[in-house]
Structure 1
């Protein structure tokens, strides 16, 4: 393409815009860059005009996002062109393409300096703009003195001086140690006498930067700043072009008041009086008007004036006037103004004298706490928190508790923390503090940190007069049908320690307290069970003389948890069971907790130091966790005579980084480094085998030798009869790999684990992988049991979790070697972030002799594991059903290809999937109505409703309607239930003959008087 005239640039731009795709554009740009390279090679023959054309093209290519790694020298050379068009292009392209560290800039310093000190104002402006935009250190060292001279020169036009002030400001901000401003106070004072408001605006910006760095040198500028404000407020000699919506130069006013805030005080009484008169005029003359632009300008001036009033520690009357003005602001409808009013009123709290005045607006601030705008709600919360003291603590905390029930999830944690801190700091009496914290836990248990209930326990323990009251309140909260787990923790602890103080009150005998706490046991997570076990032991201690029935029930619970997979629960159960048999001596062992030492509240410390860990600290913490193995290895312990006791398992400790050593001995069991170990000095007793017996029996990992051998192929049998691994090397590896086939159907095992929480996930001749899981809300804890079935070790064991994005799964380290006939327990922690049907996969491999086995197993961490069935009454169900109207929150689908089953089996299937069928809600007995609650980090607790309409004449199809408050959850749950209905095994019982297909299942809506069916539809 010919490159003649500026027409070439227009054609190039048109060609680029007409490209159909990115590839065409890249080819066109590459072609043009090739042409430019060719032209620049013959630079000696290029005129300034031709360079200008090509450099424009180069800049356009750069603006499109392509790298331009040539032509920089040509752009810099244009700066020295004698004519304005070429010089302008040189300055523009150089400032765009080159940064402050580029070598080519050194070549241009002399040319730029010549333009600055020259007489051509246009060239001076171009040069000052370039220096200000780049702001490099070399520019500052070489050109700052010339820019300073230009700024204070009386012979230079205001346009150039204005640019010089901004250029010097940029150089000073980038390189304050290079720009010499020593002794500049007199020059700055002269600049503040400038009548041109453009130069004054730029000079005031420079002054703000200078006094922020060192205010001591610029005291002479302070009275002149006050005179500038007086001139502007009185609108004296202010040109029309600098008046914005009737406000004389609001930008200068704001910057001037900002500069005054860097001076610590004003000593001269005349200057101080003049300044307060100016501030009084601003306060009196500012109001809310309909024009948004005028509001923005006047409020910018006003809020800077408020900051200056606070800085100068003005008299109480002026402070009161400021608060009254802000009180008007927080009452207007405009959200932006209301936000600014709340924010600035929060700043005014730093002034002690006005806190009582701010309290007059408490009702309006509380109203703002319920504003639709979340930013306004947060500012109102901050203001209430700051203005709270002993006189209004009760009112404010009660309002926060009421608001807690309807507050956004994003605010509840902060709201809970602040309410707890205020209750602790300003409690008129400790009983009120206990009431507040228990209400807090009851209303927002998910958002109450452990620090909060730890603190209330400390107060109750350290104050004897408070203990009966706290125990009685804790007992009353346990009567509620739905009690949060944190409430269970604090109530169980307090009742365990001080429940005996209530024995004379109805419903507070040791047996009654035990029963009401024990009702909560099936609903709590593993972290709460140790607290409940301690409470049971305390109840036994206080129940003297012992109640045999109560004693047997508590002992049964201890027996149950002696075989728990959690070492903390297991240890407590074993030790409490042994201690409870000591009779009266139990009073000495389980005496009342001593008083806590007085220390700073962890809540207040948390509020003061709430900064999160840095990314680097989080990475170090993660690496530390990954280096610590939580795996337990269960292995056979051979007696001295070499005989193998059937089913006898001990525990072998893996290397651990822990240095703690807490040894306990009771009934042949020791605890070392957190691991319970069976002592094998004598034949194992039944009690010692019960530690893991229930779990191992469930998983069927180790059984009688005869049973195990019969299920293994001849290769494995040969190994167990004494054939070494070397004998297997005769057979090719390919054929060996073919021989290692799984025992049983992997898919069937997975399907069984969909509705069960323990079982075998995978088994082959050498290893058995079992799984046991516990689920609580959106958290899950799983344990993988890797059992070596042979007398030779499994080597190169590796396990990795391939987790979808909606699951956060942490797997403890798996040992590379599993000893002969041993079992490794590997805990997994699961967090569900959002609804999804994607599955996590266990990538597992090991080596046995010459066998290398690698399997990928689906983990049974499915959508239904995070469901919690809930029973709803008719009114509750229909109220929610009507509120969720239509897609995407309510979806309906006719499902065909359903495996035929009786209605009772379908009910059992839904119940096993943690969906509760609510009988009697649908008048048609062939239809099912069900409800459940889904838990995830994003949705928290989300109610899900379901209706399934069936046709007794054709069980192979049905109509399903799913509804929830989250459209993703509705879709995922519908598809999940549909998969289970279609893929379940065919029942063995014969089904009735199928009728002809129908378009949709029949419903009971044919009866016009059937209100319930109409509501469901």
Structure 2
């Protein structure tokens, strides 16, 4: 390249350009010259090399030359090294997006891989790794494997082959089969250290996905660690600051963390010797490079010690804690950060807290560090090391730090303090004091879950009620009271204020009414309920409370208005016994795991501690997402609704919104939080609004065994399709033997209504009504609930069963998965966990079957799940949208016209798309009828870096209102994704 004078002159001329216009003119002139030269019949090899180097340089400047590709393809078949080199380099740079041309190169790649020239082999391996195209991987992966395993291959070829396979495996894991491949690959862990290092990178990536077949790597890894760490036998070229190949030792220690401790006593003893040597012999020196190498080894050894889960008395574990305590107090911020993080992981092991608690003062000092990442790790460690013995001191430290903590940390810090106070506080009184202190110090960051939990604990612990009422009363007398304190005070004084002997109800009413005018509408609604409770217990307050109700009858908020009117009528009701029954103290809450602890576990879970065993193929079923759903299943069990009376107004049909269209109701939750956990209940029986109190109405006892003991979710796997059996109306007279009814079809209008909403009616007849509600979490999980409502006032709906018929692209799990019954005028929920595995172009279908009056009725129900349910908005400026649009291959584009069944309203369309979770860009001045959208489509599969696989999707929708037509152009990063959203658009807008 240095000898090509024309290239040197061209680069110099470009660098001497003083303006952008001068550069563009020179580039255009040079491209025209090159195009004319390539147009000649014969171009010598030297000229081809020169022109292709120029084209690559122009490409690197940001221009897009659209010619010269065939010359690059031809050069890789040359027998001259300099020409072949240019061909491979230009191929890697220019042809990545040209799949058709890459197919022409496959045979040339194969020829070079099979040749005896090692240089040609390395050029081909480098190009394959850079391009990593699927067809190329399928055709050439076996040849790359042969180069790696062949005994006659040179070491530098083996290294290239191992790294090339690593690149291909990360994109296409199915190219490597463990059964025939593992033993021969493990054999390569002997000999040249450079080859071993590259092979270890490949092995670690494979084992990260699946350890099956690779168990024999453990003895070989321990043998290598013995060689490097104990005998220190290593070539001088691979010794770094007197440490034998530390980068390879790190890989060896890391791969052991994917396997259980070895069962062979000799291997286990040798492994402990290695770890003991690393932990004891690592010293801090003045050489920064040596420290970095040895600290990398040391922290990886700590990770392996944690993975082995040794006994609390084991010397290795104790020594690890001692060494980490030294790192927590060093000046170097990176080492201190790693020490705090590793100690947090050790604190999760049983029997380690006593050793860690000795260093509490040192850890507390780290919370004052200038680096926020170190402060966060110190808080995490204090949280992890807290127990009943040091609870008060840890909470005091965290409360003290809360006053000066960064705003980005305060919400999580408040949650941690609330969890610790609930789990380890010596008394419930201490817990109440801590929460009120939290509200005083940082009330804006106290979430609704926290004060709800306070109410639950106080209600369920009778010995705490008087103290809590007295404490909140004193808190409400302060000059400045946070609204969360008003909420807690309003609820507790309303329920237990009458227990205070030294404070009259009138005084309690005064402190609450002083806060009424400055409170939010939701808090005012709660206080109105408290006023009514107080007036019901003290007749002297009736007149004063009635005045407050009269003032609120004309309030702008409809909830306050309704409560004021209803409570005013109740305050004048003559039947006092009835009113006492209505306003009696709320019953205890059911015993459940704290929602705060679940939330805390979700926030504090470290991805470094999770070892993925899944296949990372793009469209393979993600087993880990199914296995990790245990906590989600627990949440669903907590939200399991019991059969309720009052079926006339279903939960999903509030104010007939589902039938009358309503507003577009987005079902996406960006933070994974529960947007609406209120259970299905009779709203008239609730004394406090569902929004402002953690209580649901008392539920009736379940009348089936399945409700009392819900079964585990099914692993559906591959289910065969069933025939479409349907029903007609059932007769009123019972028969002795079950009879199947004739077929009917689903009302598609009902299905269409739910596509833009999170809830609605899917099916209805004279006998049964089936509603739905869904919530999307993490982008790729749909929590879907079917509500079965029995309209018959006398007969039960028996043997109700739901089975999956078709779930292409989805993994659907049903709970309960057995038959159940629905009582007369009652309803039962059924939970479906739906994971998006890959793009799909059809509705999932389930078969519903039930028996009534002895007749068996069954029908097929399409679920309102399209690819648009698994998206989140990608908010990008229009310039970035255009740049991304141009980068996507045209072959991944879908452009199609379709006719709308309803008149086109561009403004309404924009709102509909926003409601679906798409980012809708502002209207374009030159084309106001065109809608431009961008969003991210999420799946439950994982990439090699552990992140969930997702794809950006760009849509340009042109409208013609005169003829009621659309023309949609869709581009995405994958062809199947594009096809899925073509189908989705057609379904959403009723295309003909």
TM-score category (smaller protein)? 0.5 to 0.7
- Please name the residue that 2:49 is paired with: 52
The within-5 A match list for 1:350-429 is 350-429=348-427
**1:593 is matched with which residue?**
586
> Once the 2 structures are TM-superposed, how far is the Cα of residue 610 of structure 1 from its aligned partner?
6.2
Match of 2:546 among 547, 555, 573: 555
Distance 1:392 1:112, change over 3 A: same
Matching residue of 1:86: 83
What is the CA distance between 1:412 and its match in structure 2?
1.0
Is 1:532 the equivalent of 2:527? yes
Match of 1:243 in 2: 239
The within-5 A match list for 1:440-459 is 440-459=438-457
- Residues 352 and 582 of structure 1, relative CA distance in 2, 3 Å threshold: same
Aligned pairs for 1:619-638 (under 5 A) are: 628=662
Q: Determine if the alignment matches structure 1 residue 522 to structure 2 residue 512.
A: no
Q: 1 CA distance for matches of 2:199 and 2:60?
A: 33
TM-score by length of 1: 0.57
Structure 1 residue 266, shift from structure 2 partner: 0.9
The 5-angstrom pairing of residues 404-803 of structure 1 reads 404-503=402-501, 505=502, 508-544=503-539, 546=540, 551-582=542-573, 584-585=576-577, 586-608=579-601, 628=662
> Where does residue 162 of structure 2 map in the other structure?
165
Deviation at 1:394, TM superposition (A): 2.3
Counterpart selection for 1:62 from 37, 44, 59:
59
Query: Given the superposition, is the C-alpha separation of residues 660 and 361 from structure 1 closer, same or farther in structure 2, using an over 3 Å criterion?
Result: closer
Residue 122 of structure 2 corresponds to 125
Contact 1:55 1:71 in 2 (8 A): yes
Aligned to 1:46, the other structure's residue is in SS state coil
Among 260, 264, 271, the alignment partner of 1:268 is 264
For residues 266-298 of structure 1, give each alpha carbon's deviation from its aligned partner in whole angstroms, at most 9, with x where no partner exists. 122222212211111100122334433222221
Query: Residues 47 and 375 (structure 1 numbering): CA distance in 2 closer, same or farther, change over 3 Å?
Result: same
Aligned partner of 1:981 in structure 2 is none
Alignment of 1:309 with 2:305, yes or no, is yes
**CA offset digits 1:115-166 (Å, max 9, x no partner):** 2232323222212211222223333333333333332334333222221222
8 Å Cα contact 1:141/1:179 also seen in 2: no
* SS of aligned partner of 1:80: coil
CA distance in 2, matches of 1:205, 1:34: 46
The answer to whether the 8 A contact 1:404-1:415 is kept is yes
Query: Kindly tell me: are residues 551 and 236 of structure 1, through their superposed partners in 2, closer, same or farther at Cα, counting changes over 3 Å?
Result: closer
- How far apart, in 2, do the equivalents of 1:662 and 1:306 lie? 55
SS at match of 1:31: helix
Task: Give the gaps of 5 or more residues in structure 1.
Answer: 613-622, 631-658, 665-804, 806-1017
Give the match's secondary structure for 2:259.
coil
TM-superposed CA distance for 1:466, in Å, is: 1.5
Q: Secondary structure at the match of 1:241?
A: helix
Distance 1:214 1:602, change over 3 A: closer
Give, in angstroms, the shift of residue 237 of structure 1: 4.1
| Alignment partner of 1:71 out of 68, 73, 78 | 68
CA contact (8 A) 1:100 1:134 kept: no
- Whether the aligned pair in 1 keeps the contact of 2:233 and 2:244 (CA below 8 Å) is no
Residue in 2 that maps onto 1:843: none
Say which is worse superposed, 417-426 or 97-106, in terms of deviation.
Answer: 97-106
2:279 to 283, 297, 305: 283
Within 5 Å, give how 1:766-915 maps onto structure 2: none
What is the distance in 1 between the residues matched to 2:518 and 2:58?
65
CA distance in 1, matches of 2:30, 2:3: 15
Provide closer, same or farther for how the CA distance between residues 367 and 522 of structure 1 changes in structure 2, counting only shifts above 3 A: same
Cα distance change on mapping 1:541 and 1:523 into 2, 3 Å = same
SS in 1 for 2:201: helix
1:969 aligns with none
**Cα separation, 1, equivalents of 2:508 and 2:458:** 19
User: 1:611 Cα shift?
Assistant: 12
Kept in 1: contact 2:228–2:249 (CA 8 A): yes
1:149 alignment counterpart? 146
Normalized against structure 2, the TM-score is what?
0.59
Tell me which structure has the larger Cα radius of gyration.
1
CA distances 1:449-474 after superposition (whole Å, capped 9, x unpaired): 11111111122222222211111101
CA separation in 2, counterparts of 1:381 and 1:15?
A: 58
1:304-325 Cα offsets, whole Å, 9 max, x none, are: 1112222233452110111111
Cα distance in 1, alignment partners of residues 281 and 589 from structure 2? 58
Higher relative contact order (CA 8 A, sep 6+): 2
Pair 1:293-2:286 in alignment:
no
Give unmatched runs, 5+ long, in structure 2.
606-656, 665-679, 686-876, 878-992
- Kept in 2, the 8 Å contact 1:75–1:90? The answer is yes
Measured after TM superposition, the shift of residue 410 of structure 1 is: 1.0
In structure 2, do the counterparts of structure 1 residues 626 and 29 end up closer, same or farther at CA, with 3 Å as the change threshold?
farther
SS of aligned partner of 1:191 = coil
Describe the shift of the 1:259–1:497 C-alpha distance in structure 2 as closer, same or farther (beyond 3 A).
closer
Say whether the 8 Å CA contact 1:497–1:538 is kept in structure 2: yes
Describe the superposition over 1:349-404 as per-residue Cα deviations: whole angstroms up to 9, x where unpaired.
Answer: 34213233222222222222232221112112222222222222222222222222
1 CA distance for matches of 2:156 and 2:203?
A: 19
How far did 1:625 drift?
Answer: 15
Instruction: Provide the C-alpha distance between the structure 2 equivalents of 1:414 and 1:267, rounded to a whole number of angstroms.
Output: 41
- Structure 1 residues 147, 567: CA separation in 2 closer, same or farther (over 3 Å shift)? closer
CA distance in 2 between counterparts of 1:227 and 1:662 reads: 69
Alignment match, 1:191: 188
Per the alignment, do residues 662 and 156 of structure 1 end up closer, same or farther by CA in structure 2, a change over 3 Å counting?
closer
Moved more, 246-255 or 361-370: 361-370
The 8 Å contact of residues 178 and 212 in structure 2, kept in 1 or not, is answered as: no
Aligned to 2:198: 202
Question: In 1, are the aligned partners of 2:453 and 2:594 still within 8 Å (CA)?
Answer: yes
Q: What's the secondary structure of 2:214's corresponding residue?
A: helix
Contact 2:75 2:83 in 1 (8 A): yes
Find the aligned partners of 2:266 and 2:186 in 1 and give their Cα distance: 19
Task: Name the CA distance, whole Å, in 2 between partners of 1:46 and 1:153.
Answer: 39
- When residues 627 and 83 of structure 1 are mapped into structure 2, their CA distance, relative to the original with a 3 A threshold, is same
Deviates more, 1:440-449 or 1:367-376: 367-376
Q: Distance in 2 between matches of 1:264 and 1:605?
A: 28
